[in-house]
Amino acid sequence: MKRPLFLAALLFAAAPALAQRADLPPEPAIAQALDSHPSVEAAAQRVAAARAEAGMLRRGPHEVTVGGSYLRRSVDREGGFDEFDGTVTRAFRLPGKARLDRRAGELGVEVAENMQEDARHQAALMLSDRWHDWQIAGALVRLDAEAVANYRAELRAIRDRADVRDASWLDVDQVESALALAETRLADSRAAEAQARVALASAFPGLPLPPQAPPMTEPELPPESIDTLCALVISRSHEIGAAARDAERLDTVAMRIERDRFADPSVGVRLFSERSGAERGAGLVFSLPLGGGYRRSVADQARAQAGAARFDEARVRREVAETARSDAVAVGARMSAWESAGRAVDAASSASRRSQRGYRLGAIDMADMLYVRRQEIEARRAEIRARGEALRAILKIRIDSHTVWAPDED
């Protein structure tokens, strides 16, 4: 079984690979499944809410207020009079406040859009994990089914030989035991495959799935270098983008609240009529709230929240950098493990062929041959798992770097 020289490729150049593996669903189907995931749909609604909030901030909270009163006054020896007054007022944002409100709204939209893209990214990672779980389980089912078929053929042959006294019935018992264990393992593998398929179909019901998991391809390094992908994981991280924009938004909000310590004035017009119209008048009204300790505390709170957001941004940057390094290490380790598993399969297969010839020649007994065959099966199972984990690790670094399963990135 041939394997790529991974270490040399990792250090010097990546082997060419297709943007989309042949054993994965078509990209349009993947895009549809990701876009329709509930977490992505919910994030899209939050973007719409952020845009509405931006519109609110752009227009401002102040509206025209209309007030008035009517009363009937009675005066001794003069009679009764109808009197009324009406007032129309509106508060106005002081210079600079509207600009900060607009900027805070724009940043809120950017935060929501980044969170939407990050939700899609998390859904892509979920799809990758569940798809590879299903593929690995399917490959194990095929291997175990092949083992059961081989043991059944071996059992028929050894029974025929025992009937003519060319083999002992102890050998028959040993093969029957090996067959029963193989059938048990096959049943477990089929259950695991069914569970993996249910998990995948439940999370992404719109993704068309074949009846059986497609066979896994052999892992190939991405066309980009690992260092390039690590840099893209950080530079294209929407989680970092959301944290940075949110920190900037809270800075803007803090500045806006600081300005609110000097409240917005209200200006209006008052009309009145007294003594049934004998006295009439019109004038301007003006009001200005006088800020105190409450507004100062609100400003202190906003500044503290902005400072916390900056530390959150630093934490997210560290976490994403850790993810990038972990992805790179995982690719190297998983590829090395797959290469080792491939060598183990080659050696175990050779030993199995030799033991079978030895048994036919009478050099070894049935127990030794079955033991070597179990070793070969276990080596193949280990290779399947190692291959699946290598494919998973390579796809993960490509998803994290937004080179696959993501909208076009600058």
Residue 240, class by beta-carbon neighbours within 10 Å (0-12 exposed, 13-18 middle, 19+ buried)?
Answer: buried
Is pLDDT at 4 greater than 60 in this prediction? no
Q: Is the pLDDT of residue 72 over 60?
A: yes
* pLDDT for residue 227 is more than 50: yes
Residue 349's alpha-carbon distances to 157, 205, 269, 374, in angstroms, are 21, 40, 96, 11
Alpha-carbon distance of 134 to 353, in angstroms, equals 31
**Which of 393, 338, 400, 395 lies closest to 7 in space, CA to CA?**
338
- Which class for 360: exposed (0-12), middle (13-18), buried (19 or more C-beta within 10 A)? exposed
Q: What is the mean pLDDT of residues 116-141?
A: 97
What's the sign of the alpha-carbon dihedral 369, 375, 381, 384? negative
pLDDT more than 70, % of the chain:
93
Q: Mean pLDDT throughout 162-191?
A: 89
Work out the average pLDDT over 52-61.
92
DSSP 60-75: -S---EEEEEEEEEEE
Residue with tokens 């806006």: 256
Lowest-pLDDT range, 183-187, 277-281, 286-290? 277-281
Helix then strand then coil, % of the chain, to nearest 5: 70, 10, 20
Give DSSP secondary structure letters for 247-262.
HHHHHHHHHHHHHTTS
Angle at 318 between CA 314 and CA 322, to 5 degrees: 170
**CA 10 – CA 336 distance, rounded (Å):** 11
For position 20, what pLDDT does the model report? 67
Per the prediction, the chain carries an average pLDDT of 89
How far apart, in whole angstroms, are the C-alpha atoms of residue 165 and residue 152? 20
Per-residue pLDDT, 11: 29
- Contact between 394 and 222 under an 8 Å Cβ cutoff? The reply is yes
Number of CB atoms found within 10 A of residue 285's CB:
13
**Separation CA 60–CA 88 (nearest Å):** 18
The pLDDT value recorded for residue 409 is 60
Calculate mean pLDDT across residues 26-55: 95
Question: So what's the pLDDT on residue 63?
Answer: 87
Tell me, what DSSP letter sits at residue 165? T
| Predicted TM-score of the model (pTM) | 0.85
Domains and CATH numbers, the chain: 27-401 (1.20.1600.10)
Average pLDDT over residues 166-186: 89
- 340-391, pLDDT tens digit by residue? 999 999 999 999 999 989 888 888 888 888 999 999 999 999 999 999 999 9
pLDDT in tens, 270-283: 988 877 777 888 88
Burial of 4 (0-12, 13-18, 19+ CB in 10 A): middle
Q: How far apart are CA 141 and CA 144, in angstroms?
A: 5
- What is the side-by-side strand order in the sheet with 266-274? 65-75, 79-91, 266-274, 279-287
Phi, psi of 303 (to 5 degrees): -65, -40
What's the confidence (pLDDT) of residue 7? 31
Of residues 43 and 409, more confidence is placed in: 43
